Amino acid sequence: MTDAPSRVRSLVAGNWKMNGLEASLNAAAAVRDALPGLGANAPGVMICPPATLLTALAAVAAGSALTVGAQDCHPAPSGAHTGDISAEMVKDAGASAVIVGHSERRADHGELDRIVREKAAAAHRAGLTAIVCIGETKGERLAGLTLDVVRRQLRASIPSASTAANLVVAYEPVWAIGTGLTPKPADVAEVHETIRKSLIGHLGEAARGVRILYGGSVKPDNARELLALPDVNGALVGGASLKADDFLAIIAAAA
């Protein structure tokens, strides 16, 4: 295993995907209100709602430990890009981070590593943390290509100017997202170790402070085991983040 990094505060981020209306802010408020009771070892907590709720959620989270992220951004700061939002707009809406390169964006919108890198650079330009997602498909895993895939995606998707302050990496095996399936803990640990080594090779020793999240059917009943693994510095949570009780249980497991 790699040497353990100096104490890195873990992060549990909820990705609401294309879910959530104004009434969903009640769940976010419940999470916000529960955070002070989790103690000094509580992880950082973030919710990434659809763009329609960014400003409203930022108002809910104001003055609390809850932070707000977006689910995507365009590489350009402005322009003729109907339907897109820029990193600057995300920042202006009250977010502090943005997810880029999620497998659903890569698959549904044909986003290549180059585009993901451009979006991550845009996030940095706007003063946001880029949460860069990487992960293999089922076919790639069955072919024994998992480690090759994550190394390639990492190398090609992360701007060279990334730092521990503006970069989070999320490993999400594509075949595990929303399926209820998760890799064996030893497999997760192997991939996260590979990611850490690749980050250090790409960014230098400071990369020991970059948080590496695990995502892919993270639930209250498996969170503690997954979050205790070496180089797992938190979780990117999908469906379970829509329910305050489930999300809080995962947050508590990271404390």
Tokens 């986003």 -> residue: 111
Given a contact cutoff of 8 angstroms between Cβ atoms, the answer to whether 118 and 75 are in contact is yes
Question: Is 102 marked active-site?
Answer: yes
Of 34, 16, 130, the C-alpha closest to 75 is 130
Tokens 């353990």 -> residue: 4
* Annotated catalytic residue within 74, 102, 124, 192: 102
**Cα separation, 13 vs 72, whole angstroms:** 14
Given a contact cutoff of 8 angstroms between Cβ atoms, the answer to whether 84 and 110 are in contact is no
- Is the four-CA dihedral 110, 113, 114, 120 of positive or negative sign? positive
* CA-CA-CA-CA dihedral for 32, 119, 89, 33, to nearest 10: 0
Of 230, 159, 220, the C-alpha closest to 194 is 230
47 CA to centre of own chain: 10
Of 71, 82, 66, the C-alpha closest to 25 is 66
* Annotated catalytic residue within 88, 104, 172, 190: 172
**Residues designated as active site:** 102, 172
